[in-house]
Every structure is written in C-alpha cells, then in structure tokens.
Amino acid sequence: MRTGKARKMSGTTLVELLASMGILSILLLVLGATLDLALARFRGGAEKVDRAGEARVAAQWLERDLSSAVTSRSARLPRLPAGTTPVQRAFFEGRLFLPFEVNRTRGTGFGTAEGRSFQNAAPGFDSLVFATGGGDGGPAIVGYYVAYARHSPLGGDDAAGMKLFRHYRPGASHRGDGSAGGLLAFCSQQINDGWDETGPGAVRPVGAENPAAVRRGRLENADLPFVLARRFEDFAAMTPVAATQPWPTNPVRDWLKAPPPDYQPDRGGAEQWADPASPLHDSVFPDESVCDHVVRFQLEPRCRVEREDGTTELMDAPALNRHLGLSGGDEWPVLVAPDFIEMTLTTIGEKAALTLTEPGDWIVDFSATASSDSSPRRRLLEREMRTYRRHIPLPRRTR
C-alpha cells in the first residue's frame, strides 16, 4: 500500500503562455522601432557626409581650374583710341585678353535667340567659362553649369534632377570642336589684334582697319565674342564657323535648347586624335556631373581696384562696370579677371529630390522667406537643404 501525499505536478497554463507572447511581441516592436530609428539616423548621417563630400569635390575641381586660369598678359600692342579714359587705360592698355565669362548673356557671334555661354544651362542657376592651363597643347577651355538630366542611362529609369556639370575642351592646335585651339584663336583675334607680337617689322599696313574690338575702344561685353560661340575651321584662312554647344550626360532632351545628335559619338584611337585633320576633333563628348541634387549654384566674382587716393576697394560687377565707365550693369566685364570667386552650392537629399518631378520644381526662390512660401514642398526643401560656401582665389597677376 503506497502511503504519503501525491507530488503536485507544475506547468504553464494557456493564459500565462499568451501573456508571455504578448509581452515578447511588445518588446520586439519597441526594439524594431528603435533599431529602425537608429538605422534612419545612420542613413541620414551617411547621406549628409556623402553630400558634403560631393560639394567639396565640386569646389576642388573649380579651385583647381581657377588656379591656372589664363585671362590676360602684357603684350606689344597698338595704343587704345584717343577717347579711352585713363581708368580704362589702366586696365586694358598693352594687354592680350581672353574672356572670363560669369553668367554672360551679351556678346557677338553667338547666333542663337538665347544669348548665354551654355545654351543647355538651366535658368535660375549661375554659369562660368574661361581659359585655363592646358599643358603642352596650349590653353584649354573649362566651364561649369547646371542642367536637368536623368540619374541613369538605363531604359525605363526616368528619374531626373538638376546636376552641376563640368565642361572641358583640351588645349590643342586641332581645328575641331573637341579642342580649345580654334575657339580661343577666334576670340583672341576678334578681341585683340591679328598682328600682335608677330615679330620685328610685322606691323599693320598703312590704312588697314584694325579688326580687334578692344583696339578700336569697344570694351563692352556686347562688342566681344563668346568663348563657346565660334571657332576657326581653318587657321590659315581664318574662316570662322559656329561651334557645337556642350551637353550634359543623360540629358532630358525635351529640356535642351540644342539636343546632341548622338549620346555616344565615335571616340576613335590615339592615331586619329594625333591627326589634326581627323573628324574626331569635331566631337564634344557629354559632360560629366560633379554634384547631384543641386537647387542653388551661385558665383560672386570680386575685383580689388586701387583708387587714385591709394585706397583699395573690393568691387562686384555693378561697381566695376561703373568704375570702368561700361554699361554692363550687373554682368561681369569679360575682359577683367576677378581676384576671387565666392561659390555657394546648395543641395537636397534623396528624399526631397524624389518629390521634385519637373524641372520647374527645382527652381527655389531664395529671396522668399519660409513664411511667404509655406507650401509643403518648400517646407520639405527647407528641412533637407544643405548649403556649402567656398572662397576661391585666382592667381595673382599684374594689371
């Protein structure tokens, strides 16, 4: 006969199991939300670092190009006309010039209804083009502009946005559009003098008209050629032809004033590029972007001018035009190289960029305050915008 009390059996009831699972689910939800928030902050921080890096790269490209800018130098040239003012002589006498174009809209030889250095540049953004050191091949041409282009060349991917592009044409004696030689030769001959520095005894025949705009006292932007407008097709005959405009990589064709004939022109080989007569020199390849998601690209050139009393004044474009007696208004005088340029670059993140589906969406009125434009899009942009500023000096030169 078994004696004693029976051992009590222990276990988990269904109610206790359900309660435990409920608590575990709540803990997992809280943990998941915390992890998702942490990952979002990490992604946001990584994107900000990425965007800051892109802005630094763009500024470094611009600074490198400006560090070897070729704009003017002393030369043995005929004197300027008698009507030239003393102030103008101090800037322009006895010098050779190449244009330095900041937001330029007026000039000769452009041949299009829209007068600007880059036909394909988006309105509302600044642009820049100038000659820079090109090594043994001579001065090159470099430029910066903002254009509306797709993010990818893949079919079916229609996502697009404003990007900052760098345009480059290498220095060479080749006649084609792909090299800077023909464009710079045309500008130099039109601005300066076809007879300058050709050697002892090589002077203009008596009674021969001087073709150079500056030597005739025409110092206004409207009297001077654009860098990217025309080039000499034949140096011997000095025959000018219209130059092909640059274009961005993966452009939205409906947005371009002059769409490219082909996205992939023939790149040829080294032997063809070494031949000045090769048609490859008539190819200008699509420009590569140096910064994405751009809502602001602003350039503020400044020039230090010494007054008669010995003081120095830092002048912007309107002040410099007034000082030189030019009617250029707020357009930078293309014959004057600035001492420095203040670059302002504002970008937005991927989240905000995806909400901007039309080119006009990218145009931000920075003169309007947040209260005057309280639309959801503006509030989103205000939260997402990051602005970078860079003070970029040009090489010191004697005037």
Mean per-residue pLDDT, 242-258 = 85
CA atoms within 13 A on the CB side of 346: 18
Residue 113: pLDDT over 50: no
- Token pair belonging to 27: 């803990």
Residue 204: pLDDT over 70: no
Of 45 and 20, more confident: 20
pTM: 0.83
The reported pLDDT for the residue numbered 287 is 92
The reported pLDDT for the residue numbered 6 is 52
Residue 7: pLDDT over 90: no
Residue ranges covered by each domain of the chain: 41-198+210-393
At 47, the pLDDT band (50, 70, 90 cuts) reads: low
pLDDT digits (tens, 9 = 90+) for 338-377: 999 999 999 998 888 988 989 989 988 887 765 556 778 7
Of 171 and 42, more confident: 171
Rounded Cα distance, 317 and 300, in Å: 9
Count the residues in the chain: 399
The reported pLDDT for the residue numbered 45 is 54
Average pLDDT, the chain: 83
Q: 4 to each of 7, 8, 9, how far by Cα in Å? A: 9, 12, 15
The reported pLDDT for the residue numbered 197 is 47
Per residue in 95-112, is it b (16+ CB within 10 Å) or e — as a string? Answer: bbbbbbbbbbebbbebee
Q: 374 to each of 189, 190, 377, 384, how far by Cα in Å? A: 53, 51, 8, 15
Of 56-65, 182-191, 229-238, 295-304, which range is least confident?
229-238
